[in-house]
Amino acid sequence: MADKKLGFVKGLFFGKVNPGLLIPYPKENDEESQTIKIILDSLKKFARERIDAARIDAEAKMPQEVISGLGQLGILGMATPEEFGGLGLSQFAYAKMMEELGKICGSTATFVGAHQSIGMKAILLFGTEEQKKKYLPELATGAKIAAFALTEPNAGSDAGSIQTTATLSEDGSTFILNGSKHFITNAGIASLLTVFAKQEIEIEGKKEKKISAFIITRDMPGITMDREEEKMGIRGSVTNGFRLENVRVPKENLLGEPGKGFKIAMEVLNYGRLGLAAGCLGASRRLFELSADHAKQREQFGKRLCDFEMIKHKLSDIEIDIFVMESIVDLSVKTADRKDTDFSIEAAICKVFASEALWRVVNNAVQINGGDGYMKEYPYERFLRDARINMIFEGTNEILRLFISLDSIKNVGIELKKLLDSLKRNPLVGVFKVIGASLKKCKGKFCCCDAMLPGLDPALKVYAKKAAVLTKKFSCRVEKVAMKYGRKIVDKEFMQERLSDIAINLYAVYCVIARAQHLIEAKGKPAVEKELNILDAFFDRASARIEKDLNGIFKNKDKVLSAISDKIISG
């Protein structure tokens, strides 16, 4: 795949903003919007009649009629090109569908995401024409179900340490796979598995073990399914481990280039994280609807719950989280649909922010509903159990925070190395280059400012100016961190977490400003008073978090926290 343009968040690490990703606000395709509406209306009707979320959860089973019905509606092949039996719709359309499923049933959303966001995605992105023709039509209709098999008993977040092996047969016609996979969603009902294994690759005359991706079908001898896992939440989704014992996979079932499996897996997971975030948004919307209705109807001490200030606070917090989620997911999905821009960091931020926001939302919803929120008779406890997994799968939020900071800061390190190398080659010229780069930074040529967001309404410029100052501070801290620690930054996880949280909050701020501008243009300022209040409240909180993390980069209690933990472990 061709190299892509620098993503928005990676630019922030340099103190840069790409205004073209924000303003003018990317719009949906009008023709596709009509198609999306038809699909969502059909899905809502189908859900009312056929998807019983409480029953699916209680029985811990996904009914075949639900799977078949989703296939008939086209839900299982939304992103698959029409030539291969799908609807050929955008990532934006897919996100809207996942959002709706998130409202309806966490188990069903998980099943669909595992099948379409990741299970068959590698074939869509990296498959040959022959592979696409052979497998996609049946996957798009739900006649066959797909799963994504990367995780192993001793390789969860550390995907690079997988132990499953792929050995090319002596005649070169097949790969022989041995190993085991763990916690694989849809594995028990999947006919097709995207499996990752290490094979020996010759690189510059040396043999190295690199990860490759393979298409495996359940009819291949040597595949043994383990028992189905019993889970806290998303109980209706099917989760199994399985073992591979001398499974012979035809050479033509290799996905992409040999040894490029890790890159394939990460690219697939980028899309999976966007879909997961959309599902979190949908669940949050439903929880808000239920909680707001309860707060309006329930009376205590002669007043409605919604008239108590602490309940108002909780309802406001939920509404703010939802608006920010909407803004981040919408812009990130539309960035993915551009096809020319790296959105890997934005996808990770979507997943982290949305999963943690949903956890806050469900906690507030349970509290607003009091005793009812704790009882199985009502949906809140199911939403709570379903919500917890989102901070774990598709990359734990801790690992994604490391990814956000390290993958972004490495670009800064590369640029600094170029300057330092220049200094070594020609000290005089090098000095001028370093000074020149610093002067440009001081003059703001490498830093964002409100002028880089063209056409902002005056009501939004104050936020853009403050965001510019925070972005400049951030990029200067990043540069200092890169110069001070170099490669040792890999071991500075306290530092990485702060940098990631700053990036997450900055991205959220810019997304909310851009969306507020879009709403003002579409509806007029008087009609978006609530949204402007949300922007004001969120910006106040986000900027405070950013300042705290900026100040904590070099002045903190990290050693004290480590000492406490070390003492616990040592007994």
In tens, the pLDDT along 40-77 reads 999 999 999 999 999 999 999 999 999 999 999 999 99
- Maximal C-alpha separation, the chain: 83
Residue 244: pLDDT band (50, 70, 90) is very high
Rounded to two decimals, what is the model's pTM? 0.93
Asked if 304 contacts 277 with a C-beta cutoff of 8 angstroms, the reply is no
CA angle 205/263/354 to nearest 5° reads 160
Residue 312 has pLDDT above 50, yes or no: yes
pLDDT at 4: 80
Structural domain includes residue 95: yes
CATH code of the domain in which 322 resides: 1.20.140.10
Nearest Cα neighbor of 171 from 251, 247, 244, 246 is 251
Nearest Cα neighbor of 314 from 335, 346, 296, 292 is 292
Structural domain includes residue 409: no
pLDDT tens-digit readout, 320-335: 999 999 999 999 999 9
Nearest Cα neighbor of 194 from 126, 129, 289 is 126
Structural domain includes residue 530: yes
β-bridge partners, 165 = 178, 198
Range with the poorest average pLDDT among 25-29, 74-78, 118-122, 229-233: 25-29
CATH code of the domain in which 96 resides: 1.10.540.10
Same domain, 175 and 297: no
Helices (H), 117-255: 121-126, 129-141
What are the tokens at 32?
Answer: 């596709």
Question: One of 152, 381, 394, 531 is an active-site residue; which one?
Answer: 394
Same domain, 43 and 99: yes
Asked if 276 contacts 354 with a C-beta cutoff of 8 angstroms, the reply is yes
What are the tokens at 139?
Answer: 């996957």
Residue 416: pLDDT band (50, 70, 90) is low
Helices (H), 165-308: 261-297
Asked if 142 contacts 69 with a C-beta cutoff of 8 angstroms, the reply is no
Nearest Cα neighbor of 11 from 498, 412, 461, 470 is 412
How far is 214 from 217, CA to CA, in rounded Å?
A: 10
302-309 long-range contacts (CB < 8 A, ≥24 apart) are 305/368
Sign of the torsion angle spanned by Cα atoms 236, 241, 244, 245:
negative
Average pLDDT over residues 484-491: 88
DSSP 526: G
Same domain, 119 and 195: no
Range of the domain at 173: 147-259
pLDDT at 445: 39
Count of structural domains within the chain: 4
Structural domain includes residue 102: yes
Structural domain includes residue 410: no
pLDDT at 156: 80
Structural domain includes residue 133: yes
Asked if 288 contacts 318 with a C-beta cutoff of 8 angstroms, the reply is yes
H/E element, 184: strand 174-185
Same domain, 224 and 179: yes
Cis ω for the linkage preceding 24 (within 30 of 0): yes
pLDDT tens-digit readout, 79-134: 999 999 999 999 999 999 999 999 999 999 999 999 999 999 999 999 999 999 99
Same domain, 469 and 550: yes
Same domain, 140 and 27: yes
The question of whether 204 is a catalytic residue gets the answer no
